[in-house]
Amino acid sequence: MPVISVPQAFNEEDLYVDLRAVIGRALFLKCEGFNFAGSIKLKAAAEMVAAAEREGALTRRSILVESSSGNLGVALSIIAASKGYRFLCVTDARCNLATRLMMEALGSQVHMVSGTESNGGFLGARLDYVRDLCATDDRCVWLSQYTNPANWRAHYRTTAPAIARFFPDLDVLFVGAGTTGTLMGCARYFRRWDRPVRIVAVDSVGSVSFGGAAGRRMIPGLGMSVRPPLLDDACVDDVLVVEEADTIRAC
């Protein structure tokens, strides 16, 4: 049993669900929600905060600011509470109530923006708010999960090696694409591996990440209303675009 002193030090890395009984093929689902933040976003949050601390960007007077549809916000709330930082999460109406209440219970401030699915959608409105805030308050430190290389490095360093360790004969890796931090970290790791692995990005109908038409999306954390700055198409072999109704039925 591990003994930890900070919440971000624990993550159950080695849990997989065998889906052969459901779909009739050798497909394994990697479970990433068994940590104190309840999602894979704890990895990116910890890596980005650590990078900002190493660079001297974070001080005791700093206010961490980030745009999030929910999961990264919870992860940063936990880390901020542990380290004594103030944290402001900028989100929108798709952030579910339980997630917002969790962030507030951890001492974070939550700001909800309004927006539409055109002209950058909710994400565009969130980013505009963060930019304006940072321009007017020098205490604000924006981690910017959408452009921060520490986002994908977290998965290059942890997620991908864990998969490689358990599946040395891996053929195809499916990765859900939001900011594409998980996707890029895993893709870059397996590009340098000693055997070929096909990388398939999973995106949502209504997302513009891979050139699709913008449309209404209700599931937070999957798809983007602007092209992800971290995305390198050369690292992706194929893209699978899924209707949200099919996503819910499959779950």
Least confident of 169-183, 188-202, 209-223: 209-223
- Amino acid in position 45: A
Distances (CA, A) of 68 to 91, 103, 116, 224: 5, 11, 16, 12
- Res 195 pLDDT > 90: no
Residue range 57-62: average pLDDT?
Answer: 93
Of 160, 142, 152, the C-alpha closest to 178 is 152
Instruction: Name all domains of the chain by residue range, CATH numbers in brackets.
Output: 41-142 (3.40.50.1100), 150-250 (3.40.50.1100)
Tokens standing for 35?
Answer: 């940590």
Partners of 18 in the beta sheet?
28
* E strand or H helix that includes residue 46: helix 41-54
In the chain the beta strands, taken as DSSP E runs, fall at: 16-18, 28-30, 63-67, 86-91, 109-112, 140-142, 172-176, 198-204, 238-242
- 214-249 pLDDT, tens digit each: 998 888 889 998 899 999 999 999 999 999 999 999
CA neighbours within 13 Å on the CB side: how many for 130? 25
- 137-163 pLDDT, tens digit each: 999 999 999 999 999 999 999 999 999
Q: How confident is the model at residue 116 (pLDDT cuts 50, 70, 90)?
A: low
Give me the residue label for tokens 């692995």: 197
User: How far, in Å, CA of 46 to CA of 79, rounded?
Assistant: 7
Which positions ≥6 away from 13 have C-beta within 8 Å?
Answer: 158, 162
| SS3 of residue 131 by DSSP | helix
User: How far, in Å, CA of 239 to CA of 249, rounded?
Assistant: 20
**pLDDT of res. 1:** 60
Partners of 109 in the beta sheet?
88
Max CA distance (Å), the chain: 56
**pLDDT of res. 118:** 47
- 24-42 pLDDT, tens digit each: 999 999 999 999 999 999 9
Q: How confident is the model at residue 94 (pLDDT cuts 50, 70, 90)?
A: confident
User: How far, in Å, CA of 223 to CA of 225, rounded?
Assistant: 7
Q: How confident is the model at residue 87 (pLDDT cuts 50, 70, 90)?
A: very high
- Res 21 pLDDT > 50: yes
pTM value is 0.92
DSSP 8-state assignment for residue 31: P
Of 231, 187, 183, the C-alpha closest to 211 is 231
